[in-house]
Amino acid sequence: MKIAILGPPGSGKGTHTFRIAEKYDLKHIVVGDAVKQEIRKGTELGKIMFEYTNQGKFVPVEIVMQLLKEQVEDLRGYNGFIIDTAPINMEQYYAMKNITLDVVISLNINNFDVVRERILKRLICPNCKHVTSIDEAPDRICGNCGSQLEKRYDDNIETINIRINRYKNETVPVLENYRNQGILIDINAENSKEVVFEEICTKLDDFFQKKSLN
């Protein structure tokens, strides 16, 4: 299973990617984390990327995609991979052309007030990365590991609106390309976590069943 998942901020990407990876035994690839990890390991690619980040520059898309390609080719016992949040724009889309995807999951939001509210209530565990909300954890203690939960530094209304607009202008055209290729799965991400996850699993199972019959 070669999967990518896209959606606006607050659509539940992190939560669902984690659960999909666990259920289908997939390697969970978060592009930003992979970059940081490579730099920490000090590999050849890591050293090149460090030069950019050290100067406060973005790592060029070709280098990020080279890293992504290495990641998807090294699956060691996994049943496939799921890429969290790439390609997010047409530049990344073209750069990712040499990575074959079976299916792209689109977490759709129509009413963006839903995600604004979700993000403003969002809490994250700095220790185990568990994502929850002030509604679910009013004591601000992580249910997984007992650490003090935190807000993400960029979870404020100004940056949320910037991120939503970037998604509409830059990511939606990418989705249209995958739709035209017939590999896009649309999910209504305004529903509750449980309903959303069920819809994802049903549609993924259907998709791969039909694929195996062809």
Which residues of the shown chain bind Zn ion in the complex (CB under 5 A)? Answer: 125, 127-128, 130, 142, 144-145, 147
Question: CB 36 → Zn ion: shortest distance, Å?
Answer: 19
Q: Which two tokens stand for residue 170?
A: 């830059």
Residue 146 Cβ vs Zn ion, minimum distance, rounded to whole Å: 7
CB 123, min distance to Zn ion, A: 10
Phi/psi of residue 187, nearest 5 degrees: -125, 135
User: How crowded is residue 179: how many other Cβ atoms within 10 Å of its Cβ?
Assistant: 14
Residue among 168, 127, 117 nearest 150 (CA): 127
Nearer to Zn ion, 148 or 181 (CB): 148
Q: How far apart are the first and last CA of the chain?
A: 15
Residue nearer to Zn ion on the CB measure, 152 or 211: 152
For the bound state, the minimum distance from the C-beta of residue 33 to Zn ion, rounded and expressed in Å, comes to 16
User: Looking at beta carbons only, is 16 or 130 nearer to Zn ion?
Assistant: 130
Which of 74, 71, 105, 116 minimizes the C-alpha distance to 179? 105
* Calpha distance 15→132 (Å, rounded): 9
Comparing CB distances to Zn ion, the nearer of 143 and 173 is: 143
Alpha-carbon gap, residue 121 to 186, rounded angstroms: 25
Instruction: Give the tokens for residue 71.
Output: 């990641």
Measure the CA–CA gap between 85 and 96, rounded to whole angstroms.
12
Nearer to Zn ion, 90 or 145 (CB): 145
What length is written for the chain?
214
CB of 148 to Zn ion, least distance (A): 9
Work out how close the CB of 131 gets to Zn ion at its nearest, in angstroms, rounded to a whole number: 10
Nearer to Zn ion by Cβ, of 71 and 132: the residue is 132
What tokens does 212 get? 């195996």
